[in-house]
C-alpha cells in the first residue's frame, strides 16, 4: 500500500514531464523555470533545516562510546571509537560519513535450535554494502555531470569518466557507477519489500525516494545507452542555466525533460524529507563529540537552578537520630 502510493507518485511525475514538455511553453517550464525553482527550494530548504538544528543547543556531551575510554596511560585508548579529542572526533566522523562505520558493525539476530534455543548474531554486511555502493555511485555520477556545466570540461571529470568506463563493454562503454547505482537501489528497495521487519517499518516516505532515485538513474541510463539524446543541445541548456542566460534549444527529447524533472523533484523534495540525513549526521551529538566529559567541562547554555535538598535541611530532619547514633552533626 505504502509502496504503491510511492510508485504511483513517481509514475505520475514521469508522465507529467514526458507529456508536459511536448509544447515549447512546456519545454521552457520544464527546462528553465522548474530547475531554477527546484534549486532555490533546495538551497533555502537545506539552509532552513540546518540552521534549525544549529539553533538548538547541545546541553550535554552524550557521545556513544564504542571502545575503550582514555583513562590510565598503560591502557590503550580506542581513539576512533571513543575519541578523547578533536582529532579522534574528526577521524570518527570521517569514517562514519565516508565509510558508514557504524553500519559496518551490523549483525543479524537469529534463533537456532529450538527449543534448546541459542541466539546467534552473525555479521550482516549486505545493508552496509548496498548503502555504500549507492552513495558512492551517486556522488561519482553527480561529479561526472559536471561535464555538462563547464567548457572546457575539467580534466579530473574526464579522467573520472574514463575510469568509470574502464570495463569497455557496449557503445558507449558501460559505466560501473551506472550498474552499481541501479543494482544498489534495486537491492535497497527490494529489502523494503521482502524483509518482513523492514517492510513493517517502511513508510511511503521511505519507498518514494528510492523509487524517485531509481527513476532518475533509469532515465539517465536509458538515454546514455539506448535512446542517444542530443548531448550538444543538453549542454547548451545546462550552460545557459548556470550562466543565468537560459535558452532551450530545439529538438530535446521528452525523455531528457523527464530525467531533468525527476532530478528537480529530488532537489525540491530533499529538504522536507529524510534525505536530510546527509546534513544531519554532522549534527549527531552521539558521534560528533569527544568522550572527555571528566577532563573538560561541557557547558549547558540553559542550565538552570533546580530545587535541591540541602545538607542543612537533611540534618534538621535527622539531627536527633544522628546524635543518638553518635554521628557528627553541624549544629548541636
Partner 1 sequence: MAEKKLKPEELVQIELSPPAREWMDPSVNFRKGTWNYAAVPDTLDYLGLPNAGKWSPPDEEWPLPDNWQEIIHNGIKERLEKYRSFKVFMDICVRCGACADKCHFFIGSGDPKNMPVLRAELLRSIYRNDFTMAGKVLGKIAGGRKLSKQIIKEWFYYFFQCTECRRCSVFCPYGIDTAEITMIGRELLSLLGLGIEWVCTPLANCFRTGNHLGIQPHGFKDSLEFAVDELEEITGIRVNAPINKKGAEILFVAPSADYFASPHYYTLLGYLALFHELGLDYTWSSYASEGGNFGLFHSHEMIKRLNSKIYMEARRLGVKWIIGGECGHMWRVLNQYMDTMNGPADFLEVPVSPYTGTKFEHAASTKMIHISEFTADLIKHNKLNLDPRRNDHWVATYHDSCNPARSMGLLEEPRFIIKNVANNFHEMPENTIREQTFCCGSGAGLGTDENMEMRLRGGLPRANAVNYVKDKFGVNVLLCMCAIDKATLPPLLEYWVPGVEVAGVHELVGNALVMKGERPRTTDLRGEPMKGFGDAAGEEAQDV
Q: Which of residues 64-123 bind partner 1 (CB under 8 A)?
A: 64-72, 74-76, 78, 81-82, 84, 96, 100, 102-103, 105-109, 111, 114-115, 117-119, 121
Residue 251's region, left for phi above 0, alpha for psi from -120 to 50, else beta, is left
Work out how close the CB of 277 gets to partner 1 at its nearest, in angstroms, rounded to a whole number: 4
Q: Which of 51, 56, 64 is nearest to 290 (CA)?
A: 64
The binder of partner 1 chosen from 11, 33, 62, 156 (CB under 8 A): 62
Residue 117's region, left for phi above 0, alpha for psi from -120 to 50, else beta, is beta
Nearer to partner 1, 168 or 294 (CB): 294
Helix, strand, coil percentages in the chain from 3-state DSSP, rounded to 5:
60, 5, 35
d(CA 186, CA 210): 8
Interactions with partner 1, residue window 122-141 (CB under 8 A): 127, 131
The answer to whether residues 13 and 265 touch, using CB atoms and an 8 Å cutoff, is: yes
Interactions with partner 1, residue window 199-228 (CB under 8 A): 200-206
Bridge partners of 107?
123
Work out how close the CB of 268 gets to partner 1 at its nearest, in angstroms, rounded to a whole number: 12
Q: How many CB atoms lie within 10 A of CB 274?
A: 13
Nearer to partner 1, 36 or 314 (CB): 314
Nearer to partner 1, 83 or 246 (CB): 83
Task: Show the binding pattern over residues 240-259: x = contacts partner 1 (CB under 8 A), - = does not.
Answer: --------------------
Interactions with partner 1, residue window 280-309 (CB under 8 A): 280-281, 283-287, 291-300, 302-303, 306-309
Task: Show the binding pattern over residues 21-60: x = contacts partner 1 (CB under 8 A), - = does not.
Answer: ----------------------------x--xxxxxxxxx
Nearer to partner 1, 73 or 152 (CB): 73
Angle of helix 204-222 relative to helix 176-194, nearest 10 degrees, comes to 150
Interactions with partner 1, residue window 172-201 (CB under 8 A): 191, 195-198, 200-201
Q: Which of 80, 97, 101 is nearest to 291 (CA)?
A: 80
Nearer to partner 1, 111 or 171 (CB): 111
The answer to whether residues 255 and 227 touch, using CB atoms and an 8 Å cutoff, is: yes
Work out how close the CB of 206 gets to partner 1 at its nearest, in angstroms, rounded to a whole number: 5
Nearer to partner 1, 56 or 243 (CB): 56
Nearer to partner 1, 124 or 230 (CB): 124
Task: Show the binding pattern over residues 259-278: x = contacts partner 1 (CB under 8 A), - = does not.
Answer: -------------xxx-xx-
7 lies in the site for partner 1, by CB under 8 A: no
Residue that the C-alpha cell 510508485 belongs to: 7
Work out how close the CB of 286 gets to partner 1 at its nearest, in angstroms, rounded to a whole number: 4
C-alpha grid cell for residue 97? 560519513
DSSP per-residue string spanning 101-158: HHHHT-EEEEEESSSS-EEEEEE--HHHHHHHHHHHHHHHHHHHGGGGT-SSPPHHHH
Amino acid at each position: 500500500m505504502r509502496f504503491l502510493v510511492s510508485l504511483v507518485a513517481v509514475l505520475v511525475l514521469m508522465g507529467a514531464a514526458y507529456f508536459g514538455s511536448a509544447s515549447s511553453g512546456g519545454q521552457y517550464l520544464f527546462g528553465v523555470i522548474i530547475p531554477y525553482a527546484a534549486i532555490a527550494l533546495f538551497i533555502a530548504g537545506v539552509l532552513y533545516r540546518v540552521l534549525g538544528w544549529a539553533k538548538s543547543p547541545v546541553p550535554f556531551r552524550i557521545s556513544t562510546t564504542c571502545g575503550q575510554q582514555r583513562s590510565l596511560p598503560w591502557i590503550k585508548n580506542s581513539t576512533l571509537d571513543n575519541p578523547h579529542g578533536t582529532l579522534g572526533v574528526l577521524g570518527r566522523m570521517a569514517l562514519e560519513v565516508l565509510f558508514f562505520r557504524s553500519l559496518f558493525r551490523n549483525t543479524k539476530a537469529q534463533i537456532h535450535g529450538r527449543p534448546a534455543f541459542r541466539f546467534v548474531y552473525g555479521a550482516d554486511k549486505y545493508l552496509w554494502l548496498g548503502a555504500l555502493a549507492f552513495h558512492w555511485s551517486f556522488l561519482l555520477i553527480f561529479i561526472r555531470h559536471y561535464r555538462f556545466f563547464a567548457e572546457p570540461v575539467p580534466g579530473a571529470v574526464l579522467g573520472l569518466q574514463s575510469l568509470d568506463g574502464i570495463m569497455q563493454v557496449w557503445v558507449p562503454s558501460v559505466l560501473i557507477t551506472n550498474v552499481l547505482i541501479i543494482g544498489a537501489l534495486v537491492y535497497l528497495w527490494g529489502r523494503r519489500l521482502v524483509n518482513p521487519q523492514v517492510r513493517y517499518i517502511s513508510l511511503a516516505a521511505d519507498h518514494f525516494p528510492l523509487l524517485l532515485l531509481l527513476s532518475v538513474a533509469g532515465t539517465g541510463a536509458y538515454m546514455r545507452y539506448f535512446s542517444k539524446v542530443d548531448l550538444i543541445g543538453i549542454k547548451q541548456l545546462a550552460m545557459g542555466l548556470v550562466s543565468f542566460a537560459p535558452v532551450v534549444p530545439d529538438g530535446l527529447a521528452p525523455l531528457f525533460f523527464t530525467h531533468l524533472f525527476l532530478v528537480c523533484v529530488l532537489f525540491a523534495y530533499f529538504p522536507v524529507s529524510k534525505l536530510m540525513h546527509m546534513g544531519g549526521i554532522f549534527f549527531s551529538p552521539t558521534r560528533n563529540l569527544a568522550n572527555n566529559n571528566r577532563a573538560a567541562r561541557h557547558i549547558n547554555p540553559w542550565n538552570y537552578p533546580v530545587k535541591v535538598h540541602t545538607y542543612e535541611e537533611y540534618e534538621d530532619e535527622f539531627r536527633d537520630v544522628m546524635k543518638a547514633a553518635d554521628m557528627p552533626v553541624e549544629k548541636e
